[in-house]
Amino acid sequence: MLHLPTSKKRVSLAMLHTALLFALITAQLCITITYKCNGNPIPEFPAILVFGDSSVDTGNNNYIITPFKGDHPPYGLDFPGSLPTGRFSNGKLVPDILAAMMGLKETIPPYLDPYLSEQDMVTGVSFASAGSGYDDLTTSLSHVIPMSKQPGYLKHYIRRLEGIVGEKEVARILGSALVIVSAGTNDFIFNFYDVPTRRIQFTIDEYQDFLQKQLQNLVKELYHLGCRRMVVSGLPPVGCLPIQMTAKSPVLRSCSHKENADAKSYNDKLEKLLPQIEAELLGSKILYVDTYNPLLDMINNPTKYQFVETRRGCCGTGLLEAGPLCTRSTPVCPNPSGYLFWDSIHPTESAYTILSQKLADLLLHEFPVTRTQ
């Protein structure tokens, strides 16, 4: 037996104690965190399925006839390979970042991509379409895919997936997948504020209820197709989007308090509605995701998040440019990561990363993790 001097014994015991403590802490983290733990990913969901607008469209509009495209530089400036993939940002969106956090895959591809691999099909896709909304009127001129039509693509996806893994496995994937629903902003901007077509028919309160009825129909349709775990995003502070500040307060660059108040009341209604829908749909889990308060905190407290600019976008003047107005010839700010907004509507990857972390925290709280051996 090896006999150590007393001082060395103390050092060895202290090191052993530290190592054991570290191992215990690491083990606890592996139990409670779905992110990568010691390089060993523990995905809580077998797939991510996404429905919505440009906040979650990873490139579907590339494959349809519409002017609402982000398939050109400088979009994708900070995406791997500096590729303009159709994402309306400088980099990845929340579904991409979340998938990587969970160890599922690095990005969520658009369903309309003709070169989807079988593995991409199995682990999830986005059905979202930039410019979309719950109100079919929102897409009448842009010809993008309305929210009401996106479940139709899910039906087609299910048939294709059954050919890959079989009917029983498809039911398991759908029942355990994380379903992300994110839309509503375009409905208010296109139909109520900037082009007041719906304002002739509805009060703001009535239009909110109208949209949430369409959302309720969508959620129920997704449920009947087999989806059980859903997160539904509320509205951002619409009045603080650079394009809305340009329209309402071009000199002072102040947020529209009226539009923010409308978004907040919409969110309050949605937060109450979702548990009611969940109670009707046996075995479902439907969570409200708050984007309003996190984004407003970024706007009001930029240094807290290492932002240098939160009231204009990185692309061009940052006041008006988006989509076809944010092009290869448009100047770009020298440090996109210091900007909250990439163009006059859409956040940067930096902002989406913060929102992704908050969503991940919510998922950790609401969906307990089963430790894998």
Tens of pLDDT, residue by residue over 110-169, are: 999 999 999 999 999 999 999 999 999 999 989 999 999 999 999 999 999 999 999 999
Residue 337's φ and ψ, nearest 5 degrees, are -65, -15
Cα torsion 347, 350, 354, 360 to 10°: value is: 100
Which sequence positions are flagged as catalytic? 54, 343, 346
Q: For the chain, which domains are there?
A: 43-237+256-292+352-367 (3.40.50)
**Taking all residues of the chain, what is their mean pLDDT, rounded to a whole number?**
89
Tens of pLDDT, residue by residue over 280-302, are: 999 999 999 999 999 999 999 99
Amino acid identity at 212: Q
Label residue 16 by pLDDT band (50, 70, 90).
very low
Nearest Cα residue to 323 out of 334, 313, 310: 313
pLDDT at 367: 84
Taking the whole predicted model, whether its pTM rises above 0.85 is answered as yes
